[in-house]
Amino acid sequence: MMAVTKPRNESQAPQFAGNFDAEDGHVVDVEVLIIGAGPTGAAAAIHAARSGFDTLMVDAAEFPRDKTCGDGLTPRAIHELESLGLAEEITSGYRNRGLKLHGFGASVTAPWPDSAFGAVGSAMPRKTLDQLIVDAALRAGARLWDGTYAQAVRLGDRGIEEVSVKRGARQVCVRPKVVLVADGVRSTFGRILGRTWHRGEVYGIAARSYCSSSFHDEPWIHSHLELRDELGVIQPGYGWIFPLGNGDVNLGCGALSTDRRPAKVNTKKLLQHYAAHQQTEWELGEPRLVTSAMLPMGGAVSQVSGPNWALLGDAAACVNPLNGEGIDYGMETARLAVELITDNIGDARSWSRLTLKDSWPALLRERYGKAFLLARTLARALTHPKFLPAAGPLAMRGPLGAKLMPAAARLMGNLVTPEDEDLVARTWRASGLAMGKLRRHSPLWS
Ligand SMILES: Cc1cc2nc3c(=O)[nH]c(=O)nc-3n(C[C@H](O)[C@H](O)[C@H](O)COP(=O)(O)OP(=O)(O)OC[C@H]3O[C@@H](n4cnc5c(N)ncnc54)[C@H](O)[C@@H]3O)c2cc1C
């Protein structure tokens, strides 16, 4: 965490967070500054530029850049990409129809439900996908400074007044009206602003790889819920094979963890074991580009906004706790934030009316609170070593499985319905666990 230094006269002078240094005098004024140009930041840039705002994205990486991910795009993500004008370009290369879940001696096929989001999913390597969205943002009129690290802020009465960015050897001072922080899971810039991750809640650790496969254009994504290590012990997570339609599949595995019950898993090793297990069936080549990452999930972070700034996407832990998917939520939060800003400042574009401090977390809670708490509660149960071996066979087989599995597939596809909430809540209560109690005590963008 960067040091926070305060000037002597705190009541009048602005506060500095981080090593603020714009001595060489480069000052740039913008309306919307976006930190991070992944799917969340680039989608925010498209919406902001389309709304007529002078928009600048800064990203520490040089584009095109890779990102550790399963590359899966749910119908919910495709729906959002449609509003960005990009869905056709993506689904014309590869499309999938739903999810096949395997484990405990059974397989369940769960087509994407015909929801308001449509029933078409896809998958695309992040290096390609993220560049597509960035290009669309540039076409919409936003600017990108890649290779540029946002490292400090100057805070005043109206929130962030200046951001110091390091662009190559140059230090530049950006003076924004509003800052959208989309700097991903570690949220280095968000942390300067006080963003706190609650590790007592469920989080994920996951690894991905690319493997050549004869079945690279199979129209279903596959998840293996019975994920065992080389000693045969069931792990609290799942393995995935997401066909990409380009000769490769994205193969990976993730485990769920909490501070109290940390998953003692080497995910890269587990991935090799899982790949070896699936090798014959999928005619897999050797796993390449194996990388791993952590994932805060289900809104388990606090301090996500100030008067003129808001955290979006992964930075705000907008990731489904059951499957680690967050591209859809990232792009949605991008759209919602720009809508909120536009509403706040009105037609007169009165920036002094901007008040995101309370309204942003309230909006996140309204949109995602229920579904995230539900998924987080189930995910927490999975971290109990005895839960999955006992519940897995019941859930995958028999009459309960027939009801639960389609609901689980919807939960995993971020397509949860009110009926699913009822069903899971009832199952949860029937198993004797107090969901209400957990809900009240769970931090959620608070
Ligand atoms: C193993 C794994 C598998 C996953 N599988 C899926 C999946 O199949 N489907 C799915 O929907 N989601 C998946 N996810 C989650 C998904 O990757 C994230 O939800 C998604 O990347 C969020 O996008 P983002 O734009 O918020 O963040 P990111 O894509 O991480 O982008 C953040 C950007 O911010 C930049 N940045 C960071 N700090 C700074 C700074 N200080 N200054 C300037 N720039 C900065 C970074 O360089 C980066 O480009 C997976 C995650 C993992 C770890």
Over residues 170-200, the pLDDT tens digits come to 899 999 999 999 999 999 999 999 999 888 8
Given this model, what pLDDT does residue 393 score? 64
Residue identifier of the C-alpha nearest atom 51 of ligand 1: 69
285 assigned to some structural domain: no
Residues 315, 333: Cα–Cα separation, whole Å = 11
Q: Can you tell me the mean pLDDT for 121-142?
A: 98
47 assigned to some structural domain: yes
Residue 94 pLDDT greater than 60, yes or no: yes
Structural contact between residues 75 and 416, judged by C-beta atoms closer than 8 angstroms: no
Q: Measure 263 CA to ligand 1 centroid, in angstroms.
A: 22
222 assigned to some structural domain: no
Q: Can you tell me the mean pLDDT for 232-241?
A: 85
Residue identifier of the C-alpha nearest atom 30 of ligand 1: 184
For residue 41, give the ligand 1 atom closest to its CA: 25
Residue identifier of the C-alpha nearest atom 10 of ligand 1: 325
For residue 252, give the ligand 1 atom closest to its CA: 1
Q: Measure 363 CA to ligand 1 centroid, in angstroms.
A: 22
324 assigned to some structural domain: yes
Find out whether the peptide bond into 111 is cis, omega within 30 degrees of 0.
Answer: no
Nearest to 235 by CA among 274, 200, 199: 274
Q: How confident is the model at residue 430 (pLDDT cuts 50, 70, 90)?
A: low
Given this model, what pLDDT does residue 174 score? 97
Calculate what percentage of the chain has a pLDDT beyond 70: 80
Q: Can you tell me the mean pLDDT for 303-323?
A: 93
Give the mutation target among 151, 167, 314 for probing the ligand 1 site: most ligand atoms within 8 A of CB. Answer: 314
CATH of residue 149's domain is 3.50.50.60
How many domains is the chain built from? 1
Residues 17, 28: Cα–Cα separation, whole Å = 19
Q: Measure 197 CA to ligand 1 centroid, in angstroms.
A: 16
Q: Can you tell me the mean pLDDT for 138-143?
A: 98
361 assigned to some structural domain: yes
Given this model, what pLDDT does residue 184 score? 97
158 assigned to some structural domain: yes
22 assigned to some structural domain: yes
Q: Can you tell me the mean pLDDT for 247-269?
A: 86
Q: Measure 297 CA to ligand 1 centroid, in angstroms.
A: 12
Q: Which domain holds residue 22?
A: 4-66+127-198+299-366
Whole-number Cα distances in Å, 370 to 30, 36, 37, 318: 36, 27, 28, 13
Residue identifier of the C-alpha nearest atom 12 of ligand 1: 325
For residue 207, give the ligand 1 atom closest to its CA: 1
Q: How confident is the model at residue 89 (pLDDT cuts 50, 70, 90)?
A: very high
261 assigned to some structural domain: no
Structural contact between residues 128 and 94, judged by C-beta atoms closer than 8 angstroms: no
Given this model, what pLDDT does residue 282 score? 98
DSSP 353: G
Given this model, what pLDDT does residue 367 score? 92
Residue 120 pLDDT greater than 70, yes or no: yes
Q: Measure 119 CA to ligand 1 centroid, in angstroms.
A: 24
Identify the residues whose C-beta falls under 6 Å from ligand 1. 35-41, 58-61, 65, 67-72, 77, 149-150, 182-185, 188-189, 206, 208, 252, 293, 295, 313-314, 319, 324-328, 330
Q: How confident is the model over 358-371, as pLDDT tens digits?
A: 999 999 999 998 88
Residue 286 pLDDT greater than 60, yes or no: yes
Q: How confident is the model at residue 106 (pLDDT cuts 50, 70, 90)?
A: confident
Residues 325, 49: Cα–Cα separation, whole Å = 26
Q: Quick one: tokens of 45?
A: 């840039």
Q: Can you tell me the mean pLDDT for 135-152?
A: 97
Q: How confident is the model at residue 388 (pLDDT cuts 50, 70, 90)?
A: low
For residue 314, give the ligand 1 atom closest to its CA: 26
